[in-house]
Amino acid sequence: MSRYFKFVAIRKDEEEWMFKELQEGRARFGWSSAGSDLRVIKVKSSTARTADEKIVWRYTQFLINRLTKGDRLIIQLSRPLRKFLIAEVTGEYHSTDPQESDFNHYIECKLLTEAFINVESQAVSQSLRHHLSKRGHYYEIYDDLAKEELNWILEKSMQRNAEFLQANEIKHTAEYESKVLEEDVIMQTYKRISTKWPSAYFEKFVADLIRSTPGLEVKKQGDSGQGWDLTMRILDPIDGSILHEDIPVQCKNYMGAVKTKRPIDDLERCIRNSGSSIAYLFIIGDLTEEFEKEFESRLELLKAENEDIQWRVIGQGQIAKMYLNRVGSGI
């Protein structure tokens, strides 16, 4: 049975270009600076690689180390996951060097599905939707039943089976509507939080969230002047013993896209000034790809000094869920 890999390749506002590339036999992948070539990075020792090359290798090395001819890719081109394509790896890894964008990586492929498969349609089971919705830019799908269903979908799609094509139409079932409603509630919640809790008061809001979360305690609240807005401790959920003490936490509330590097600067200050190897960032705002790349680059530099350093980001979706859980529990 063919191996299947979930393959998340999202280039903002360029879904049509990505689709055209697939039609021409190239499965593009990002997470790199322009002109990066995994074949060049691979021959370097880990100590000889730059911080940027280490990040590129961490997120994209599967293209050259894992994928082989005959593997199949479940390709997601937009977020959230609503539809996917299936392609088969037919050749080698390549890099278009130089390249004006960061999507210079590609693997030779053949697009097997002419049209998108709708995840929320009757053509896709709830079980398969679960296997396709896991986090990560790529991962292998190991479940045999999931792979059998993917084979069936591929066969019916290539045959243009009338019954399958009809089932592939979006059906607004109760389950679908429930999921859409949940996503809308979460989005509206973090938007209201952002509006109602301006930056000057956001620290108190986060402190209340932490206090209402089992296993977390606020240790000291108040701007430290050293990078964090409060400190917290993490407790063992079984016996209540302290797992981590004096963890610095910073709280940021932005509207729209987060382009500033200030939260990253403050995370670095948290680590350097607190003596803790862990720092948390509670942040509302849309984290841009530029932000994520700078985040990973700066963290990689710190890990070169101490491999135990960890940065944990609690984004707006998770903040909204924590708030809704708090309201629901009556705390």
Least confident of 99-103, 152-156, 259-263: 99-103
Fold equal for 4-170 and 193-329 = no
The pLDDT of residue 271: 93
How far out from the chain centre does Cα 53 lie? 20
3 state SS of 16: helix
Angle at 263 between CA 262 and CA 269, to 5 degrees: 90
pLDDT of residue 293: 82
| Assigned token pair, 85 | 């394509």
In the structure, what pLDDT confidence band is assigned to residue 101 with cuts at 50, 70 and 90?
low
Give the model's confidence band at 197: pLDDT under 50 very low, under 70 low, under 90 confident, else very high: confident
Count the neighbouring beta carbons within 10 Å of the beta carbon of residue 153: 22
Give dist(CA 88, CA 110) in Å, integer.
5
Q: Is residue 194's pLDDT more than 80?
A: yes
pLDDT score of 99 more than 60: no
Average pLDDT, the chain: 88
Mean pLDDT to the nearest integer, 128-157? 89
Residue 311's nearest CA partner among 287, 282, 289, 279 is 279
Backbone angles phi, psi at 148, to 5 degrees: -65, -40
User: What would the mean pLDDT of 118-132 be, rounded to a whole number?
Assistant: 87
Q: How far apart are CA 318 and CA 22, in angstroms?
A: 33
Pairwise CA distance, residues 57 & 49, whole Å: 9
Of 30-39, 98-107, 273-282, which range is least confident?
98-107
State the angle between helix axes of 316-329 and 199-211 in degrees (0 to 180), rounded to the nearest 10: 60
pLDDT of residue 120: 84
Q: Which fold has domain 193-329?
A: Trna Endonuclease; Chain: A, domain 1 (3.40.1350)
Whether residue 89 has pLDDT greater than 60: yes
Tens-place pLDDT, residues 296-316: 889 988 988 888 999 999 999
Q: How many residues does the chain have?
A: 331
Q: Which of the four pLDDT bands, split at 50, 70 and 90, describes residue 98?
A: low
Rounded to 5 degrees, φ, ψ at 248 are: -75, 140
Extract the tokens encoding 236.
Answer: 């063992």
pLDDT class of 175 with cuts at 50, 70, 90: low
In this prediction, residue 272 carries a pLDDT of 93
Peptide bond into 248 cis (omega under 30): no
What confidence score (pLDDT) does residue 250 get? 94
Structure token digits, residue 50: 């730059």
Calculate the CA 307 to chain-centre distance: 22
For residue 219, what are its two tokens? 């240790």
What whole-number percentage of the chain has pLDDT above 90?
A: 49
Q: Is the pLDDT of residue 53 over 80?
A: yes
Sorted by where each begins, the domain ranges of the chain are 4-170, 193-329
* Banded model confidence at residue 172, pLDDT cuts 50, 70, 90: low
pLDDT at residue 325 tops 80: yes
CATH class of 4-170: alpha beta
**151 in Cβ contact with 3 (< 8 Å):** no
Whether the per-residue pLDDT at 149 is higher than 60: the answer is: yes
